[in-house]
Structure 1
C-alpha cells in the first residue's frame, strides 16, 4: 500500500463514508472500536455501557468507525492479531511488544473514540463543520496523532525520537479485571488486565516518562498492587495535564516514506516544560483513581507536604 498522508482536520470530515485512517472513500467497513477478541478475552458481552462527552450512553459493541477494507485486511487486522497474541501471554507478551505497535494500537483506540466524539459534537452543533469552535491547539495535537497513526498502513519514520511515553508494568493480581481510562484533551491512556498494566501519553515526545523516571527506576520489574498501579496512572494523568507544550514536527514525504522530525520542545520559552506540581490538585486526581478503596481527599493530603502513597518510597515530584 502506498498512500499520501491524509489530514481529516483540514476539511473537518468525520463522516462514515470515508476510512477514518486513510480518507479512502471506497465503501468502508464498520469496525468495532473495542475488537471482538478483547471483549471475549475480558469476558464482556459488548452490552456494557460507556458515557460519551455529548452525554449519550452507548454500548461497547455499538461503537464503530469506518475503515477501508484494504487497510483493515492488510494493516489493522494484522496489528490486532499481534496485540491479541501479546494479551494472551499477559505481561510477558505485552512487555516484549515493540513500543511502536503498542502506540499504534492504543492510538487507534483513542483516535476511534475521538472520531465518534467528533461526530457527536458536529451532530449537536457543538462544533461547526469546519471545526471553528475547537481550539487550534487541540486540532493541531489531534492532527499530529492521526498523522502518526498512518504508520499502521504506510511507511513513517520517526527521526531518532519517539512521540510517546509508554510504561508497561507487572501486577501482583494476575486475575485483574479489564478496565481502561483515557483523557482525550491530553491524549493519555491507562489500561489494566490480568497481570499487566499500561500507561501511555501519546503526544509528549517522551517527557512524561522522563518526568517520573526516578519512580519508574525504583519500581522496575516489581509487580504492583492495584492501588500502586492506580497511583502510578494518576501521576501520569496529572503530569500530562501540567505538560504545557504543544509538540511541533517537521514532516517530509519522499519516495513513499514520511519522515517526522521533532522541533525542540523548549523553543523560545523560558518557563519549564511542566507547570508547577501542586500536591492538593494531585490529591484530587488521586482521590478519583482510588475511589474503589474509599480513600478521601482529607486522608490523601492529611500531610499537605507528603500525600499518601502506596509506594515504599513515594518519590513525588517537587511541589510548587
Structure 2
C-alpha cells in the first residue's frame, strides 16, 4: 500500500464538507480551522480587521477559515503551538525552528488564502452563470503547494534541496508591529513582528537566496532597522515577479513516505531564470514598501545606476547610520 496524496484540483473540489487537506468527508460544519493563527489574531486585534480579496471585496481575518478534519487540525495545532512559542520568544527562538516547520506554518496561511479566493471565485461564477476562468499556471503552483503542505500529515522527504526557503532576520521593530504581506501569484510571503521578520519563497528551489546572496551576506548577523528590512522585502517581491520558471516536481509515493524531487530549472530555451531587473519598476516597488517613511520614486531612482539604499553606503558597506531624512 502506497502513501497517497490528495489532489483537490482534479475535480476542483473546494466545498465546506470535505477536508481541504486530506479530502476526507466531514461530519459537521464545525470542523474548521482558522487560516490565520488564533493567537496571532488575538495578539494584534486582527479578528474584525478587513482583509482585501483579489476581487477587491473585503472579509475579516476571522472569516478566513478552512474545512478541516480532526486529525489534520491536530497536526496543524502541533505546528502552530511550536511556532507560537518561538514567535512569542522572538528572533533567537524563531531562528531555531526547522525550515520544514516554518514552511508548513507559512504554507497553511498562504494556501488558506488561496482556498478562500477559489471559493469566492466559484461563488461569483455560479452567480454570473459563467464558467470560472482559472490560469493553468496558477493551478500548477497551487497543486504543488497543496501537495507539499500534506507533509504535515503524510511522511514526506524533500530530496536534494528544499523547494522552499524561509529567511529569518533580526529587526529593531516597535513593540506593537505586525506587518503581513503575501503575493499568491508568485508564492512569496513576509511577516514583520516582535524583534524579527521572515521572508518565505515557496516554489523557487532556493534560487532567490542565490539571486540576493550579496545583500544577504551584507546583513548576515546584523540587527536591521525596519527600513532596511523593507528594502530587502522589496527586492524579494520584485525578483519573485521576475522569476520566469514554473517549477516541476516529481512525487514518488511509497509505503513509508512520499519523496519529492525538484526538477532542474534550466530549460531548453537557455533563458536566464530571472527576467531583466528594471530600476524604475524596482523603484516603484520600493516606494510602496517605504510608504511609512514617505520616500518618493524620483528620490529613490534619482541616480538610476545606484538607487537609494539604506542597506549599503556609497562604498558598498553595510549602513549603520540610518538617517531617515535623507537617502
State the TM-score bracket (shorter-chain normalisation).
Answer: over 0.9
The equivalent residue for 1:12 is 12
Normalising to structure 1: TM-score of the pair? Answer: 0.93
Residues 245 and 313 (structure 1), Cα distance of their counterparts in 2 relative to 1, 3 Å cut? farther
Map 1:141-152; keep pairs closer than 5 Å.
141-152=141-152
Give, in angstroms, the shift of residue 313 of structure 1. 4.5
Structure 1 pair 211/36, CA: closer, same or farther in 2 (3 Å)? Answer: same
Correspondence list, 1:304-315, <5 A: 304-313=304-313
Match of 2:51 in 1: 50
Looking at structure 2, the residues matched to 93 and 49 of structure 1 have their Cα atoms a distance apart, in angstroms, of 30
Pairwise CA distance, 1:88 = 1.1
What SS is found at the alignment partner of 1:192? strand
The residue matched to 2:88 in structure 1 has which SS?
Answer: helix
CA deviation profile, 1:123-150 (whole Å, cap 9, x unmatched): 1119999986212111111100110000
* Partner Cα separation in structure 2 for residue 127 and residue 172 of structure 1: 48
Q: How far, CA to CA, are the matches of 1:60 and 1:206 in structure 2? A: 30
Query: Aligned-residue CA RMSD in angstroms?
Result: 2.0
**Corresponding residue for 1:292?**
292
Give the structure 2 partner of residue 69 of structure 1.
70
For the residue of structure 2 that corresponds to 1:10, the secondary structure is coil
Change in 2 beyond 3 A, CA 1:139/1:288 = same
Alpha-carbon separation, structure 2, partners of 1:23 and 1:155:
17
Q: Deviations over 1:172-218 (max 9, x none)?
A: 23625111000010000000001000001101000011100111011
Instruction: State the TM-score, normalized to the length of structure 2.
Output: 0.91
Question: Where does residue 88 of structure 1 map in the other structure?
Answer: 88
Runs of 4+ in structure 1 deviating by more than 6 angstroms, as ranges, are 126-132
Structure 1 match to 2:39: 37
Q: When the two structures are aligned, how many residues end up with a matched partner?
A: 312
Match of 1:318 in 2: none
Answering whether residue 210 of structure 2 is matched by residue 234 of structure 1, we say: no
SS at match of 2:133: coil
Match of 2:168 in 1: 168
Shift of the alpha carbon at 1:68?
0.6
Tell me the distance in 1 between the aligned counterparts of 2:18 and 2:130.
17
CA distance in 2, matches of 1:212, 1:293: 24
Flag structure 1 segments of 5+ consecutive residues without an equivalent. Answer: 316-320
Within-5 A mapping of 1:261-300: 261-300=261-300
1:86-120 per-residue CA deviation (whole Å, 9 max, x = no partner) reads 11111011111001100110011000000000000
Q: How does 1:84-123 map to 2 (within 5 A)?
A: 84-123=84-123
Using a 3 Å threshold, how does the CA distance of structure 1 residues 126 and 92 change in structure 2: closer, same or farther? Answer: farther
- 2:324 is matched with which residue? none
Q: Is the 1:127–1:133 Cα contact (8 Å) retained in structure 2?
A: no
Q: Is the 8 A contact 2:3 2:258 kept in 1?
A: no
Structure 2 unaligned residues grouped into runs of 5+: 317-327
